[in-house]
Every structure is written in structure tokens, then in C-alpha cells.
Amino acid sequence: MVIGNENNHIDETEKLLKLVRKKPLPVHVAIIMDGNGRWAKKRGLHRIAGHRQGVETLRDVIKVSDELGIKHLTIFAFSTENWKRPVSEVNALIDLLVEYLRREVMELHSKNVKIVILGCLDAFSHSVQQEIKRAVELTSNNTGLNINIALNYGGRAEIIRAVKNIAKDVYDKKLSPDDIDEKLFGNYLYTANIPDPDLLIRTSGEFRISNFLLYQIAYTELVFTHSDILWPDFNKKAYLEAIIEYQSRQRRYGGINA
């Protein structure tokens, strides 16, 4: 392939698309969208310009997911640890999300997309909560692509919340300790009714989980891009390549191959 030749790039994407359609697709793709800050720094821009560009990538990834017929796309938008960042960056990230929802929710709704939030919204201002709830309620009966937005989300906080709620229900005699099994526990997580991710992608060359979906990724296939693909660089080709990598894996779940 000649780098920089747009036609060749399109041809190659078409080829990848054909390949991807030949094998079973992941039902649930989860993504740690990482590297916006480094993308901006490389260009001498402010980190927030990287986050803004990251929204463009997200738009494309949603489009491709919808085209492929992927059922669940879970995106890590803001972690419980991201509050450690400067207030100006935290506010910019939240503003970008609200701006995105305000601008795109009608189009997503027309495409039958359902928006779900994983995480605790209490930490956000009333107007931010209203905007998010509006998008969730508007799309709540849609049956197409589910976009699960992990917002003020942390895997450990999620598990502790589940344990507390189970303890309360036992205390209130709604549950007996013997009722607690993996299925019941799963129903107390933010991801109740969402199947575990088949594929987890992290961009930017960081090979860690950073407190994302700790309980749910027990048997998820992990794909990490190298550091040359920061989130704003994650285009359709990179996404299709990650799915092809997933399709090449043998999932054994502790068993052996037939």
C-alpha cells in the first residue's frame, strides 16, 4: 500500500470490511479511548484540542459499529480517577460530552441507537444530568446499537456499589445470602442485562485496564494498539484490524478445543 494515497486506503478498508464480515462479529465491543492528550501535545496543541478530535473518532467508530451490526459499544468517557485532572480539563471533557449529546442525539435516535450510562451521575451539575437523562430517556425504547457510556465510572466503585445494594437487600430480607450467585451479582452492576464484552480495545500503547469493567472482562479478548495509534488516530481501518485480530483468537473459556 502506498501511504498517503487516499484511493488505496479506501480499497484497503473495503477489503478489511469484506474480511470482517466473513466471521462472527463481537456482540459487545468495549473501548478505552486513550491518548487524546498525547495526540494534541505532538501537534503543539492544548490537550482539549485532542479531546475534541477524539469526539470525531468516536463519531466514526459509532458509525462503523452501526454499519457492522454490533449490538453493544461501551466507551470509557470519564473514570472515577479522572477527577484528579485540572478542573479546566474535567470541565472541558464534560462540556464536550454534553455538546456531543445535544448535537447528535436526534440523529442517533433516528438510527435506533439506545444510549445507556454506566456510572454515577450525582457528581455532575443539574443541567449536565438533565441533558444526559434526556438522551437516555429519548432513546430508551430503541432496539439498534446500544451505546453504553461509562461516565464517572470505576470498576471497583461499581463492585462496591453492588455489594452494598446486595447487603441492603439481604438486611431488608428481600434476598437470602444463598441467592447470591454470578447471575444475581451481575444484575447489581451498572451493566445489568448487558452481555460481557467480547472484545476490549485500548488505544495509545498503554497496556493496562485502568479500572474499566473489572468484573465483566473475565473472558474478554484484549486488543491493545501500539503507541502510534492514539485515540484521535483510530480510524475505520484500525477498528477493522482490531476486529480481525479478535476473530483470529480461539476462545476456550478454560476448556479445550474440540
Using CB under 6 A as the binding rule, the residues of this chain from 142 to 201 that contact ligand IPE are none
33 is a contact residue toward ligand IPE (CB under 6 A)? yes
Residue 53 C-alpha cell reads as 478530535
**Choosing among ligand IPE, Mg ion, none, which partner's interface includes residue 225 (Cβ < 5 to 8 Å by kind)?**
none
Residue 30 C-alpha cell reads as 468495549
Residue at shortest CB range from ligand IPE: 37
C-alpha–C-alpha distance, residues 116 and 159, integer Å:
18
Question: Any bridge partners for residue 200, and if so which?
Answer: 30, 222
Q: How far is the CB of 50 from Mg ion (least distance, A)?
A: 10
Q: How far is the CB of 208 from ligand IPE (least distance, A)?
A: 6
Residue 45 C-alpha cell reads as 496543541
Return the number of the residue (20 or 98) whose C-beta is nearest ligand IPE: 98
The only residue of 93, 135, 149, 189 in contact with ligand IPE, by rule CB under 6 A: 93
Cβ atoms of 220 and 30 within 8 Å: the answer is yes
Place of cell 459499544: 73
The only residue of 61, 78, 105, 199 in contact with ligand IPE, by rule CB under 6 A: 78
Residue 224 C-alpha cell reads as 491493545
Return the number of the residue (113 or 151) whose C-beta is nearest ligand IPE: 151
Residue 161 C-alpha cell reads as 456499589
Cα 198 → chain centroid: 12
Whether 82 is a known active-site residue: answer yes
Cβ atoms of 188 and 162 within 8 Å: the answer is yes
* SS3 of the chain: helix, strand, coil, percent, to 5: 50, 15, 35
Amino acid identity, position 120:
C
Whether 142 is a known active-site residue: answer no
Largest CA distance in the chain: 67
User: Among the candidate windows 12-20, 65-73, 123-131, 203-211, which touches ligand IPE by CB under 6 A?
Assistant: 203-211
Q: How far is the CB of 42 from ligand IPE (least distance, A)?
A: 9
Identify the active-site residue in 34, 36, 148, 152: 34
Return the number of the residue (38 or 114) whose C-beta is nearest ligand IPE: 38
The only residue of 34, 104, 131, 241 in contact with Mg ion, by rule CB under 5 A: 34
The only residue of 20, 29, 30, 37 in contact with ligand IPE, by rule CB under 6 A: 37
Q: How far is the CB of 176 from ligand IPE (least distance, A)?
A: 37
Q: How many CA atoms lie within 13 A of 237 on its CB side?
A: 12
Reference 121, options 97, 156, 92, 146; nearest CA is 97
Return the number of the residue (17 or 90) whose C-beta is nearest ligand IPE: 90
Place of cell 459499529: 65
- Which stretches of the chain bind Mg ion, using CB under 5 A? 34
* Catalytic residue list: 34, 82
- Which stretches of the chain bind ligand IPE, using CB under 6 A? 32-38, 76-79, 82, 93, 204, 206, 208, 210, 231
